[in-house]
Amino acid sequence: MYNKRCAPVTNFHHKKSTFSVSRQIRHIYMVNPMSYVNLLKLCVGAERVEDLEAWQAMHMEAAKRPTPMHVTRMWPKREAELVDGGSLYWVFKGQVLARQQIIRLDEVIGDDGIRRCGLVLSPDVIRTEAQPRRAFQGWRYLKPEDAPRDLTMEKPGDDELPSEIASALADIGIR
């Protein structure tokens, strides 16, 4: 009855057909909310997406892992929704600029014996439209409808928009 993004099917009928259409739609979303959610995280120490890619490549090689992992102190309560299509959106200097698909969550025990959450990510870093975000600590949930759109693939010969211009366009809501 639902697709992956939880769009209601038009032939939905409730047992009691006395519901109005708007109440039926409200019922659909209350019974089965969107099946995935994203995380939003500051990319501390990196100024550009390339810095993140280089850092992850270095750590994957050192740990002999095929995929990057980001370790965070808190374990997300909405784990099932995260691994059902969610992504980690990275904030660089006040702008969301990239995302990575969340593959799974692994338990990581630190040197201090404390349990942490290892976000196992896809090695593919997908660039997104710039979206301004204020600084925050830790991570935040990000609804799919609030997430920035992925940038389209560049064509040969296209020049990349300078980050200052992309940020200015995002600030005024054009891009």
- For strand 95-109 and strand 126-132, is the pairing parallel, antiparallel, or unpaired? antiparallel
Gap between the Cα atoms of 91 and 48, Å rounded: 10
What global pTM score does this model have? 0.69
Residue type, 102: I
Give first-to-last CA distance, the chain, whole Å.
34
pLDDT in tens, the chain (175 residues): 444 444 444 433 444 444 444 444 444 444 445 589 999 999 998 999 999 999 999 999 999 999 999 999 999 999 999 999 999 999 999 999 999 999 999 999 988 999 999 999 999 999 999 999 998 888 999 999 999 999 976 655 667 777 778 777 777 766 5
- For strand 38-42 and strand 126-132, is the pairing parallel, antiparallel, or unpaired? unpaired
Per the CB < 8 A criterion, the answer to whether 125 and 52 are in contact is yes
Per the CB < 8 A criterion, the answer to whether 121 and 101 are in contact is yes
